[in-house]
Amino acid sequence: MTSNHPAQQAGPSGAGPSDVGPPEADPSDVEEILSLQDVSVVYEPVGAAPTHAVRGVSAQIARGEFVGLVGESGSGKSTLGFAITGLATAPARIEKGRILFRGRDIASMDQDSLRSQRQGGFAMVLQSGMNALNPVRTIRKHFHDIFAAHRHVPRARREERAAELVGKVSLGPEVLDLYPDQLSGGMRQRVTIALALSLEPQLMVFDEPTTALDVMVQHAVMDTIRDLQASEGFTAILISHDLGIVLESAQRVLVMHDGEIVEDAASADILHRPRHEYTRMLLSHYADPRAEVVTLPGLEDRAVLRSDDPSDASAENPASSSPEPADPSAEPPDPSAARSAPAAPAAPPAPAASSDGASSRRAPVSRLRSGGTELRLQGVSKVYPAARRSGRAVRAVDDVSFTLEPGGATALVGQSGSGKSTIAKLITGIERPSEGTVHLGDTSVGDLGRSGLRDLRRTVQMVFQDPYAALNPLNTVEYTLARAVMNLTDVRRDGARRRVRELLETVGLTPVEQFTGKLPHQLSGGQRQRVVIARALACDPQVIIADEPVSMLDVSLRAGVLSLLRDLRESIGVSLLYITHDLLSARLITDRILVLHDGKVVESGPTARVMRAPQDDYTISLLDAIPNPRRVLTP
């Protein structure tokens, strides 16, 4: 009860001995709101070995700062966030160290005083705002529960205060009457922010606040968070795996790796003068898809035909390796010319080494030899009838036409609900088009019967977004792949076993013997996605549809899977339909792009040209929604 008294803010006087924090970039006499001193968090699950998720972390956060906490999955960033907000519960335990919030140690506080700290103290916005609201309570009741718990708003003012709070996150008072399932994902996350704000916190921890949201919504929610931080003046800690989002918002960034903070510096320094190699590695996976030349480690732009040494690229900042990001509107679109020019056939056919690449990119040799199948959509529409008499029919795909040539790579880009996944369903025969035709070579997919569809599986295969869900956790890699081989081809016994080994080699899971007996949970996310790709290749398909294949993977694993997808076109001549909302990866591995909005193609053309000189407003807004730290931080 005494906690939110101003007298308590005096500092860490009573709580500990001389409090010497590590030297900071700006050691002015700003008041510290949070001080982490050698904090370690351990997970102690029953019947399993303990895991040290956070090891000896120290950091100081000043009042009013906007700090980013960045790391890949398993880095301990969320664990630290939960510890800071007093939410670390079994099996997690704060092993040692002190978490001083305004001088009082949270780590050793009992539940009741912790609870009273939450009003006027620290608040948290969770990763999946989608599920952070109780489905059986209206939004109004959520606010009233908080007001009732802390009694910091007089009863007569509560209704007015709740309306005011949802107003701060750009929602109208009518949402108070609604249940969570009546709100969109972005609205729900706004409501959770408003709820956290209702505590009048001095420190707010945002744990991946926009990860589950669509790019455009992501952008808008981040804008709201930044505006609120400025207007309400709380201290903010933004936890994210996305360095781009963090750099765009935070003044200072803590980079976390394997439970330790490996770098703590101002955002501009992180971007321009990263000191730790892990930070440099993270940065190297960011690039502006609008740039003239786009490279990632192991994935150099295909317009550049003279790459020097791509294997060394992981250690360098793309800002230094590529020419300065040009203003797309100022320059004429011309790299498309360089792109389409068949420069490569002149080059000697290089051995299929995945790290090297630029020289022999052009000709899909094997598919040219075997003929190949063209995928052609003509005026395709898909209308889903109204769910109820009162509802309206949904036109998920509206008059879409395009051709995917053998060995080609086309990106379908758009936010969720744009119809891109429906197109995948139409091509694989899961859905039939309401109008228009889908042709694979001479076959009309929409007219296929049951057995025709089974044959279609040999021609078209899919790679799914979530490699966890796409593999049966009880089957070994060998079993999974052998089933695919035997279901779709006539190869049996030793032949099937040989084929499995071949597939594993194709997707770069070598030495093969190490992987055949593994179960999915024993593999990393990237390895799992490679197994999914190997399974798709089992029957030597002509077309692979990859639906957001890297969106669930850590950035350091993405490039490997992307380059595998790209190299498959050259090595076995398969053509690729790449469905994504991520324009950077689309730029890197596809030749052509279709931008979808509300089921319609709003723009299409060579990928580089569309990105560098977008014509449609929607394409432009998609490009603008990409976090771009350089836009903010470059002087």
Q: How far is the CB of 555 from other proteins (least distance, A)?
A: 25
Q: How far is the CB of 93 from other proteins (least distance, A)?
A: 14
Paired sense of beta strands 66-70 and 252-257, if any: parallel
Cβ nearer to other proteins, comparing 206 with 578? 206
Cβ nearer to other proteins, comparing 3 with 366? 3
Cβ nearer to other proteins, comparing 193 with 503? 193
Cβ nearer to other proteins, comparing 126 with 509? 126
CA separation, residue 458 to residues 218, 266, 440, 469, 537 (Å): 38, 53, 12, 22, 9
Copy the structure tokens of residue 32. Answer: 């510290």
Residue 308 φ then ψ, to 5°: -80, -65
585 near 558, Cβ under 8 Å? Answer: yes
Q: How far is the CB of 133 from other proteins (least distance, A)?
A: 6
Q: How far is the CB of 275 from other proteins (least distance, A)?
A: 34
DSSP letter assigned to residue 324: P
544 near 375, Cβ under 8 Å? Answer: no
CA separation, residue 338 to residues 328, 342, 343, 589, 606 (Å): 17, 8, 8, 16, 11
Give all strands (DSSP E) within 141-220, no chain letters: 203-207
How far from chain centre, in Å, is Cα 98? 32
Cβ nearer to other proteins, comparing 213 with 375? 213
Q: How far is the CB of 245 from other proteins (least distance, A)?
A: 20
Q: How far is the CB of 88 from other proteins (least distance, A)?
A: 11
Helices 477-488 and 493-506: crossing angle, nearest 10°? 110
Report the C-alpha gap between 436 and 382 in whole angstroms: 9
| Interacting residues of 17 by C-beta distance below 8 A, sequence separation 6+ | none
Cβ nearer to other proteins, comparing 178 with 281? 178
Q: How far is the CB of 151 from other proteins (least distance, A)?
A: 11
268 burial (CB, 10 Å; 0-12 / 13-18 / 19+) is middle
335 near 608, Cβ under 8 Å? Answer: yes
Query: Which conformational region is residue 194 in: left (phi greater than 0), alpha (psi within -120 to 50 degrees), or beta?
Result: alpha
Cβ nearer to other proteins, comparing 68 with 81? 81
Report the C-alpha gap between 581 and 624 in whole angstroms: 13
DSSP letter assigned to residue 558: H
Cβ nearer to other proteins, comparing 143 with 278? 143
**Strands of the sheet with 32-43, listed across from one edge:** 51-62, 32-43, 92-101, 104-105
Q: How far is the CB of 594 from other proteins (least distance, A)?
A: 34
157 burial (CB, 10 Å; 0-12 / 13-18 / 19+) is exposed
Cβ nearer to other proteins, comparing 84 with 377? 84
Cβ nearer to other proteins, comparing 379 with 391? 391
Cβ nearer to other proteins, comparing 135 with 323? 135
Q: Is the peptide bond before 91 cis (omega within 30 degrees of 0)?
A: yes
Q: Is the peptide bond before 511 cis (omega within 30 degrees of 0)?
A: yes
256 burial (CB, 10 Å; 0-12 / 13-18 / 19+) is buried
Residue 501's H or E segment, with its range, is: helix 493-506
Q: How far is the CB of 131 from other proteins (least distance, A)?
A: 4
Report the C-alpha gap between 603 and 520 in whole angstroms: 39
Cβ nearer to other proteins, comparing 195 with 539? 195
Report the C-alpha gap between 232 and 43 in whole angstroms: 35
Q: Which residues bind other proteins (CB under 8 A)?
A: 85, 87, 111, 115-119, 123-124, 126-128, 131-137, 145-146, 148-150, 179, 181-182, 192, 195-196, 198-199
Q: How far is the CB of 369 from other proteins (least distance, A)?
A: 53
